[in-house]
Structure 1
Amino acid sequence: MSSPAATETLPAATPAAAHIFTTVLSHGPLTRLEVARRAGLSAAAVTKAVRPLIESGYLVEEADTGAGAHTEVRPALGRPATLVRVDGGRALFIGVKLTGDEIIGVLTDLCCRILLARRVPLAGRDPEAVLATAADLVRELLTEADGYGVRVAGLGIAVAGDVDRAEGVVRYSPFLEWRDVPLAGLAAAVTGLPVTVDNDVRALTVAEQWFGAGVGLSDFAVVTVGAGIGCGLVVHGRVVAGAHGVAGEIGHVTVDPNGPPCHCGNRGCVEAIAADAAILARIRETGGTEVAGTAEAVDRARHGDTDAREAYARAGEAIGRGIATVANLLGPARVIISGEGLAAYDLFAEQIREAFTAAAFGSAAQCDVRTRPLPFEEWARGAAATAIQCFITAPN
């Protein structure tokens, strides 16, 4: 197995250099002029920052063939421009997404392209048991990384709930039933890797900002539906966690003061109405019959069951109001709806749109609301993206 020791750091000694590298990572290959324009820096600053990154092999130069992803208009005459791009094979990263039932792990390159993906079931939710299973999965991925001949430079772990990324502590995770678990320290001790722990939706938002539907947008949101209702926010180009790490918790925005109780202690939260468990509870309450699970609920609704259809319509209205709250407060250019709950999107899409349009104020209704189904491997990729983010910004 590869040694997990990771002493090398990216030679990006200043915030400007880290910003330049991230710009090339998200938008490259680019000419230096285009890097300067996108990063809002001078050409001299770009040249100074790029030189050590090229010398260390993290950036490479190549001739512009006109087939790159950049958008700069090139002159028709003269020498071809030189592009810079990130060498994705220069370092590897592991991303892990924890759910209440299984662990999903991915091995990615520096450009966050998934090279390998693995899933393992969880036998229990005790932190020690989960950590042992996760450590075995990480060791397996480290062994697989041997074949690439490149070190693994970091591990990212994504967990639903209240996560203090700065301290690496899971303050509260409802699905794992954890409180105040120092996950980053524990994981680092058993894997030997630098570890980043973050809320799973925020991690997914980082991946969407750098590599997905949020590329090029300074303000957008990711709303996830399924077992819970989550939201990641990007404001002025930065993923926002807030002073206490819980920014974006639209799942706990009250949309019906007389609604059902939520596990957070309030009533009528979006999550208490629109999460999978809430939908099942509503069908049982109104129909008086047991529902085995989400798959059965979806099947009933699609076959015309009145109680199931009403539960999903009610969920859609709550989600639409929650999204409108985000649009009214922050005015994002785009809201991306994702999560495992999209499997039933046809059952509440109309209600989401109608409730959003009714509740969005003025031009906030112009927000581009779109769906983006993403498997849990993409959430694990988001965890890897947070590890890459820390690698880029780590002090030398």
Structure 2
Amino acid sequence: MSPLRPHRPLPLATPAGVEVLTRILTQGPIPRVEIARRTGLSQAAVTKAVAPLIEAGFVTDQAAAPVDNAGQLAMVGIGRPVSPLTVVPHSVSIIGLKVTPTALIGVTTDFTAGIRNVSHRALPSTDAQTVIEQLTDLAKELIATLKNDAAVAGPVIGIGVSVSGDVDERHGVVRDSPFMGWREVPLAELLGRRLKLPIVVTNDVRALTVAEHWFGVGVDADSFAVVTIGSGIGCGLYINGEVVSGAYGVSGELGHLPLAPGNLVCTCGRRGCVETVASSDAILNRIRKSTKQPKLDLAGAIKLAHDGDEHARESFDQAGEVIGSALAAMVNLVGPELVVIAGEGVAEYDLYEDRMRQAFGEHAFGAAGDCRLMLRSHTFDDWARGAAATVIRAYVRGEPPLQR
């Protein structure tokens, strides 16, 4: 089976089929009876939806049945061993690409968003034409790795690309990305011409939220938020059964809430944004200036703060105060049960965690303060995996550009 084949249609004829496959993909291995219980469908309807997926090789019921405490096969009904359904990971392959101002990160994944191959590539500039050429080369490199693994890698169904900023996901246009210096770049169209594959372009934080929804903490959560802290600050929201996109494609811009001093100018051109105080770049620049060490890197700034430097500690405290206040504002508005605070090295920012939690507690209203805050470090590979997850979601749901 050639990984270059651009599309392998899923045999899903009804919304019930989509729901059943989604349950198997995100919660499997899972018995038919449990899918019926969670979806409200009859077991006969579940079996009808699953049969063509098994026949086409997307799903299998051959996983080992669980055993009870006595070592016997678990039973459903009388004399019927459980046959849990699970997705066949290698039935398809997906490519995920993450764009940053200095590098491109690419991964190949299977149908469950499990990473198979990783490739990083430095960017000589943020010029859109240059980045598109580099993305094309990186995607072709990753496709070649799949060709070499053709025995265990299914056909490529699409390529996901995640970029910071305001992204029109439906049309694949990057409307405004301050970090990249892009405005109105038709990224999906330009890449699609070169690669002849479906291209899904999305905001990077939203892509990370999709990955958490389908394959991470969101699988068992009714509502959650993902807040990312790095050169910028972003927020993805999962509320009422869906990742929030916003009426105009913009939502969750936590980093641009006006909670910082108004004399500070953000990279977006506005004043007083959270990012002007709480992004890693803002923290580092402030410590460089206050300590008169213009070549200091972030690791050095963290060490200074841990060693008790007054200026460095103050910068992290101020960041924690503003982040905690921003989190409280978001939680007061939408009420998620969990907030995952993620980013490259975010777990090392223990310097502001106490102040962040204190500010959150001071400003969270009533029971909103019960929302759990979880710090978790992410790598750039995780961002690229998020882009791949958006392709998987579009593929299962039959959304553009992977309509059935």
TM range (shorter): over 0.9
Q: What is aligned with 2:106?
A: 105
- CA offset at residue 79 of structure 1? 2.4
Structure 1 residues 67 and 264: CA distance shift in structure 2, 3 A: farther
SS in 2 for 1:245: coil
Q: Secondary structure at the match of 1:215?
A: helix
Alignment partner, residue 264 of structure 2? 260
Partner of 1:81: 82
1:9 equivalent in structure 2: 9
Q: Does 1:27 align with 2:31?
A: no
Q: Give the Cα separation in 2 of the matches to 1:13 and 1:64.
A: 29
Post-superposition CA distance 1:61-84 (Å, at most 9, x none): 12652179xxxx855962211211
Q: Give how far 1:3 is off.
A: 6.1
Q: Using the alignment, how far apart are the partners of 1:21 and 1:286 within structure 2?
A: 55
| Code of the aligned partner of 2:218 | G
Matched, 1:183 2:187: yes
Per-residue deviation, residues 104-146 of structure 1 (Å, max 9, x unmatched): 1001111111011110100111111111111111111111101
Instruction: Give distance in 2, aligned partners of 1:298 and 1:130.
Output: 32
Q: Which runs of 5+ in 1 are unaligned?
A: none
Aligned to 1:360: 364
Structure 1 pair 220–343 and aligned structure 2 pair: CA distance change class (3 A)? closer
Q: Is the 8 A contact 2:7 2:155 kept in 1?
A: no
**Could you say if the C-alpha distance between residues 67 and 29 of structure 1 is closer, same or farther in structure 2, counting changes exceeding 3 Å?**
farther
Q: Structure 2: how far apart are the matches of 1:228 and 1:38?
A: 38
Q: Name the structure 2 match of 1:50.
A: 50
1:223 and 2:258 are equivalent in the alignment = no
Q: Deviations over 1:188-212 (max 9, x none)?
A: 1111111100001111111111111
1:173 Cα deviation from its structure 2 partner: 1.2
For 1:129, the equivalent position in structure 2 comes to: 130
1:38 paired to 2:50: no
Asked if the contact 1:217–1:237 (Cα under 8 Å) also holds between the matched residues in 2, the reply is no
1:302 to 299, 306, 310: 306
Q: Aligned letter for 1:159? A: V
Alignment partner, residue 274 of structure 1:
278
Distance in 1 (alpha carbons) for counterparts of 2:14 and 2:161: 26
SS in 1 for 2:247: coil
Kept in 1, the 8 Å contact 2:208–2:383? The answer is yes
User: Which residue type is aligned with residue 249 of structure 2?
Assistant: G
Paired with 1:323 and 1:341, the residues of 2 have a C-alpha distance of 19
Match of 2:346 in 1: 342
Q: Does 2:95 match 1:91? A: no
Letter of the 2:337 counterpart: A
Off by >6 Å, runs of 4+ in structure 1: none
The offset of 1:341, in angstroms, is: 4.9
Q: CA deviation at 1:152?
A: 1.0
Q: Distance in 2 between matches of 1:246 and 1:201?
A: 11
Whichever residue aligns with residue 391 of structure 1, its letter is: Y
C-alpha contact (below 8 Å) 2:173/2:188 kept by paired residues: yes
Displacement after TM superposition at 1:2 (Å) = 5.1
Q: 1:257 to 1:309 in 2, by over 3 A?
A: closer
**SS of equivalent residue, structure 1 residue 166:** coil
Asked if 2 retains the 8 angstrom alpha-carbon contact of 1:26 and 1:210, the reply is yes
2:361 corresponds to which letter in structure 1?
Answer: T
Distance change in 2, residues 1:90/1:7 (3 Å): same
In structure 2, relative to structure 1, the CA distance for the partners of 1:74 and 1:338 (3 Å cut) is: farther
**Alpha carbons 1:124, 1:130 under 8 Å: kept:** yes
Partner letter of residue 317 of structure 2?
A: A
CA distance in 2 between counterparts of 1:266 and 1:141 reads: 39
Q: What SS does the aligned partner of 1:267 have?
A: coil
Q: Secondary structure of 2:349's partner?
A: helix
Conserved in 2, the CA contact under 8 Å of 1:316 and 1:352?
yes
Partner of residue 170 from structure 2, selected from 157, 166, 175? 166
CA contact (8 A) 2:347 2:375 kept: no
Letter matched to residue 282 of structure 2? A
5 Å-filtered alignment, 1:275-290, equals 275-290=279-294
Which residue does the alignment assign to 2:141? 140
Report Cα offsets for 1:194-238 as digits up to 9, x if no partner. 110000111111111111122211210000001000000001121
Q: CA deviation at 1:12?
A: 1.6
Measured at CA, do residues 107 and 176 of structure 1 come closer, stay the same or move farther in structure 2, by a change above 3 Å? same
Separation in structure 2 between the aligned mates of residue 287 and residue 63 of structure 1, nearest angstrom: 60
Conserved? CA contact 2:266–2:276, under 8 Å:
yes
| Partner of residue 71, structure 2 | none
Asked if the contact 1:283–1:291 (Cα under 8 Å) also holds between the matched residues in 2, the reply is no
RMSD over aligned Cα atoms:
2.0
- 1:259 Cα deviation from its structure 2 partner: 5.3
Distance 1:316 1:191 in 2: 44
Alignment partners' CA distance in 1, 2:129 and 2:270: 31
Q: Distance in 2 between matches of 1:348 and 1:295?
A: 15
Identity across the alignment (%): 46
Q: Distance in 1 between matches of 2:333 and 2:42?
A: 34
1:4 positional shift: 3.0
CA distance in 1 between partners of 2:123 and 2:317 (Å): 33
How many residues in Structure 1 have an aligned counterpart in Structure 2? 392
Q: Please tell me whether the aligned partners of residues 63 and 86 of structure 2 are also in contact (alpha carbons under 8 angstroms).
A: no
Residue 88 of structure 1: how far off its partner (Å): 0.6
**What is the match of residue 216 of structure 2?**
212
